[in-house]
Amino acid sequence: MSIPTDHSYPFDPTYGLDLDALRAIAPPEPALHFDEFWRARHAATLGIHPEPRLSASASQHPEWHVQDIVYLSTDQFEIGGWLLLPRDGLVTRGLVVGHGYGGRDEPDFDLPVTETAVLFPCFRGLSRSRRPPISSDPARHVLTGIDKPETLILGGCVDDVWLAVSVLTKLYPGLEGRIGYSGLSLGGGIGALAIAADRRIDRGHLVVPTFGNMPLWLTLPTLGSAGAVQHYRTTHPDVLQTLRLFDAATAATRIAVPMLVAVARFDPAVAPPCQFSVANGLATSNHHETVILDAGHVDYPDMEDQHALLVEKVRHFFRAT
């Protein structure tokens, strides 16, 4: 184990919790009407025709055919990204890949998957899906529409994932029921919310997911997007009522498909207690596996070895069969 001990953060990114304490953290009580809110939103989103448009991409790779893609999401929002198709072999699975708040400049060509159509959407307001007046600054992006559950941008990002699944099933009807999701940080939290409500997603991989356990998320010091919301709450004390509907740990308790979740014991950007709240919400089923990382969002001594182990687990988890 190589949890960082020498750091300059103005707070302890372990929050003083050992592994046993982290594993004991339970998801919060669900918000009133949590399930009804997401069922209604999902039903409305599936009524959207995404109208995908594909074009030749400037990106090239020896193992993948790369195409640029644009599709329509809710609120008439055009979502940009990339579609990767294997140069060799059939397409027998689909995978939607979400990103963190750093956005995405290109696809991840090192994903350990085969025979898979891989769609890399950029969440609304970020990277290839930028649109004024939405800011791509995480501290401002996360506050967009935060006054009401219906307008909070996180819900729109979940819509973007659902419609990415619709795009894959439209382009490749044979993939129905064989589409997974993988997401990091922002993409991890959004993924938990998306998977919980969409039975078309057959498995999910989340890495250091955010938005878990919103009551805790709003109290723990952080360098991540939670800091901006914590500041906002000083003048808008009722914001928790909105955020509880977007709790990734609550969503995790509703997920019934196999999950592979990687959580960190030290993380200055996404508090580990919030990450573990998501993983612990899945713990009632042996279809879920939790991988413990020493740290997240920072480099650390054993990072390469732990990443290699996780890559092998991902390869097995998303194997084309």
Q: Assess if residue 46 is contained within a domain.
A: yes
Q: Assess if residue 67 is contained within a domain.
A: yes
pLDDT score at 177: 93
pLDDT tens-place string over residues 40-78: 999 999 999 999 999 999 999 999 999 999 999 999 999
pLDDT score at 320: 64
Question: If you average pLDDT over every residue of the chain, what do you get?
Answer: 95
Q: Assess if residue 288 is contained within a domain.
A: yes
Q: Assess if residue 6 is contained within a domain.
A: no
pLDDT category of residue 284 using cuts at 50, 70 and 90: low
Q: Assess if residue 2 is contained within a domain.
A: no
Host domain of residue 167:
19-315
Q: Assess if residue 71 is contained within a domain.
A: yes
pLDDT tens-place string over residues 200-209: 999 999 999 9
pLDDT category of residue 286 using cuts at 50, 70 and 90: low
pLDDT tens-place string over residues 151-202: 999 999 999 999 999 999 999 999 999 999 999 999 999 999 999 999 999 9
Phi-psi sector, 279: left (phi>0), alpha (psi -120 to 50), beta: alpha
Residue 320 or residue 5, greater confidence: 5
Q: Assess if residue 263 is contained within a domain.
A: yes
The average pLDDT across 121-126 equals 98
| Number of domain units in the chain | 1
pLDDT category of residue 321 using cuts at 50, 70 and 90: low
Q: CATH number for the domain including 61?
A: 3.40.50.1820
Q: Assess if residue 308 is contained within a domain.
A: yes
